Structures are given as structure tokens and as C-alpha cells.
Amino acid sequence: MVKKNLFIFNHGSCYENKMITGRQIRAARGLLGWDATDLAAKAGLTRETVSKIETDTVQAREDTLTRILHVFNENGVEFTDNSGVRFRPEDVEVLNGKEGVEKFWDRVFASAQISGGVIRQNGIPEGPLDECAPDAAAMHRERMAPLVQKRKDIFMRVILQEGDYNFLCTDYVDYRWSSREAPPPVPYYIFGDSVAIFAFESDPSPKIILITSRIVASAYSKQFDRAWDLAKIPLKPTIAVRRG
């Protein structure tokens, strides 16, 4: 049995120390119509390694299993409880208040840990978001910084309103400003196949509408990338603010 000691992003849930079997990996291949050679090529492994993992002959190393999970995640396949696999369904979920923010950060981290990629944030002031769940935000920053350094394929881009110097994560985030003349966008956050829309006027605050859909995430990502190209680089360097 292949034991995974990472977080697994799984249709709105985050699991730790979830057991992934070789049979599940083989079944996930079957969903996509791949043979072991296909999976090996896409994950940067040998066919022999894939076969040994699928027959539980060897215990997969953490980085090897992460590669395999990344490939399946990128192709819309996820692992479920009770040794199952399935194509990832589209979904809409509402997260509220402090507990919702804690769940949100767990999902962002799980997605980054498995798939890397670009994380995009627009129109969400970092101070108010940090204050909604300060302990969870601090923990998220502490675990993201080494993950970004380790993986080398995680990029985080944040657009704030011009003049906002409240940069909390300068060690792994690139910041830009939207023009003061531009109307403020509806606050949103993109990671993996998910888009989170934030409303800070709710009680409890914030209300997070989490949409899991590759098509929607792609559309929002294109919109963000256009805004990023037009955004301004902050005029002067600042020192990251850390909350004790």
C-alpha cells in the first residue's frame, strides 16, 4: 500500500495521511485510457517504477507520488475514500467566516503542493483577509514559503489597489497595483481548477464562493493575466509585515 504523507486536494476536502493504493493508481490510468508507459512518460518516471508502485512492490517516495498525483490532477482525475477514483466533478461551495477561511487556506496549499502552477489574487486586501483568521493565515504563509522554494514551479501574483503597501508575503509573492482610476474588481482568488469569490460585507466575514471548474478557472485566469499586464509595479520597495 502506498502511503501519502501530503495533503490531498479532493473535491472540496483536504485529507492528511490518506492511503493511496497501487490499485487506485492503476484504475486512474484506466479512466484516462493510459498504459503504464503513458503514465511514466507524463510523470517523468520509468515504466518499471510505475509497475512496482502499482503492484505495491515498493513504497513510493514522496516526490515520486507527488509527480503521479500531479499528472492525474492535471487531467481531472482524483482519488476518493474507500479506495476509489473518479473524474473530478464541477462544484460550488460556500465557506463562511473564520472556519471557512481556514478551509480555504488548506485547499490552496493542497492544490499548490500537488500541482504547483500560478496562484492569482485580485482585489483582495491582505490586511482584512489576514484578520479574519490570523492564526490560519500565519500558518499558511509559514508552509507556503518553503514549498515555493522547494517546488520551483509555484508562482503567486497579487494585484492590490494602487497605494496599498500591505504586502504580507514578499518572500514568495509578486505584487502589482491596479490604477486608482480603474474601478475595483469583485475580489477573487484563483488556484488550480478553482475560483474563489470573496465578499467581506457578510456576517460572519468573509463569505467565500468557491467554484471548482476548469473552464471557469481558465476564463478568470485569462482575465487576471490581462489585468496583470496592465498593472503597475509598486513605486518603492517595502518591508514585509509579519504578524506575531
- Same-domain status, 98 and 217: yes
Residue 243 has pLDDT above 80, yes or no: no
The domain boundary, picked from 68, 87, 106, lies at 87
- Same-domain status, 59 and 126: no
- Same-domain status, 105 and 83: no
Residue 169 included in any domain: yes
- Same-domain status, 97 and 188: yes
Residue 238 included in any domain: no
Residue 243 included in any domain: no
Q: Specify the residue for cell string 495533503.
A: 7
- Same-domain status, 25 and 74: yes
Residue 73 has pLDDT above 90, yes or no: no
Write out the residue range of the structural domain in which residue 126 sits: 91-230
- Same-domain status, 63 and 114: no
How many domains are contained in the chain?
A: 2
- Same-domain status, 78 and 177: no
CATH of the domain at 109: 3.30.870.10
Average pLDDT, the chain: 87
The domain boundary, picked from 87, 119, 139, lies at 87
- Same-domain status, 72 and 127: no
The domain boundary, picked from 87, 103, 126, lies at 87
Residue 23 included in any domain: yes
- Same-domain status, 7 and 103: no
Residue 192 has pLDDT above 60, yes or no: yes
- Same-domain status, 105 and 187: yes
Quote the pTM value. Answer: 0.76
Please compute, for residue 150, the number of CA atoms within 13 A of its CA located in the half-sphere on the CB side.
Answer: 13
For 87-118, the pLDDT digits (tens) are: 888 889 999 999 999 999 999 998 898 888 99
CATH of the domain at 61: 1.10.260.40
The pLDDT of 185-189, averaged and rounded, is 96
For 128-181, the pLDDT digits (tens) are: 889 999 999 999 999 999 999 998 999 999 999 999 999 999 999 999 999 999
Beta strands in the chain (DSSP E): 2-3, 8-10, 13-15, 19-20, 77-80, 84-87, 91-96, 117-122, 154-161, 173-178, 188-191, 194-199, 207-212
